[in-house]
Amino acid sequence: MNRFAIKAGLGACVLGASVLIPAQVSAEPAATATGTELSGMTVFLDPGHQGSSEGHDLAQQVNDGRGNTKDCQTSGMTSLGGVPEHTINWNVTQLVKSSLESLGAKVVLSRQDDTGWGGCIDERARAASESNADLAVSIHADSTAQGEDAGKHGFHMIIPSLPIPDEKADAAQSGGGLEASKMMRDAYKSDGFVPANYAGVNDGLQTRADVAGPALTQVPLVFVEMGNGSNKEDSAQLESSDGQLKHAITITTGIVTYLLTGSETAPAQELAAAPAATTEPEASEDSASSTTTTTPKATTPKSTNPKSTAPDSAQLSELMEMLAPLLEVQGLDGLEDLVNDKNLGLVSDLASTLLAVITGAGGGN
């Protein structure tokens, strides 16, 4: 598979029928994604937690990957607006899934709905490893208090403390997992998200030894904490349809960047600069993993973020037609109102960020 199939001349792209990239951002003629850019690749997506734990014991002890045990699962946080984390994670995951599939990727989910049981953390890690995915992404939202916590905000990627006892898991997470996590962090920063300012997070990376998923996963894994549900601004974005779309586009950007440009042998030197967090209030775990597919070495794309010219209202009907498949995704409500005359520019600008990454896929820094 040619991982540089997306050329620099790409001027328009539809990911999951969820975004429109206007031709104005490129000097080249507009083109549309072929739908085969990620053909032959598999991504394992883990929407953290589950809709219901009825009939299951969340406190059941399972392997933590480091010679000890921990709880099978946690219930996850609830945002300040009363939206459960499992639903936020599910909605964002469905958007990412749609995007990746539109580029030809195979997507495997850790759970199939947002109403039932989603499995223990060790089961999800095992499923990710057995999926032979090129990358696994566990999607979460954090919390630091039962009520509002105005001072703590921002996103972060959870990085496992190294070495991991299991040699395969250690190789996967110190190589491709770390590289993909850095790329996801960079995608978040490029899209204007602010790294978390709590729990030992260093420039968007948090090193931990108490999260079982990465230690049990024998393939590259990115563990995303999208924001702090205890913070008013973070919570509002996590709850809203347009906020979830922005997170989904950013996560898709990180995934596509790794799949097209990753080397799988990134050095672990940045871990030395990231202090291990000693505590993590309201820690939410639900891990997934990916597999050991070899990826050709290449340079990381430039982190450019050009501004686009928003489509005018005359393009609304065309854009809505392109969005139609997305609006049919089960479990997402209210997206029919997402794209309108007022926020066409928002969708366009978010999409152009993804374009900046993709069009730099074959270039150097």
Q: Are 33 and 102 in contact (CB under 8 A)?
A: yes
Give the pLDDT mean for 120-130.
97
Q: What average pLDDT does this structure show over 86-91? A: 97
- Tell me the two tokens of residue 248: 């989904």
For the whole prediction, is pTM greater than 0.85?
A: no
Looking up tokens 């459960």 gives: 84
Backbone φ and ψ of 204, nearest 5°: 85, 0
SS3 assignment, position 15: coil
- Catalytic residue IDs: 225
Among candidate residues 128, 98, 169, 96, the one with its CA nearest the CA of residue 287:
128
What are the angstrom distances between the C-alpha of 88 and each of 76, 93, 131, 208, 290? Answer: 11, 9, 24, 23, 22
| Tokens 């890690």 found at | 125
* Residue whose entry in the numeric block shows the structure tokens 């006892």: 165
> 315-348, pLDDT tens digit by residue?
444 444 444 444 444 333 444 444 444 444 444 4
Q: Which residues pair with 270 in a beta bridge?
A: none
pLDDT tens readout for residues 254-268: 999 999 998 754 444
Q: Which of 199, 87, 201, 93 is nearest to 145 (CA)?
A: 199
Contacts of residue 108, defined as CB under 8 A and 6 or more positions apart, other chains included, come to 42, 43, 44, 45, 127, 128, 131, 133
Position with higher pLDDT, 111 vs 270: 111
- Cα–Cα–Cα angle for 348, 330, 105, nearest 5°? 65
SS3 (DSSP) at 129: helix
Contact 225, 158 (CB under 8 A): yes
Interval 7-51: pLDDT, tens: 222 222 333 333 333 323 333 443 456 778 899 999 999 999 999
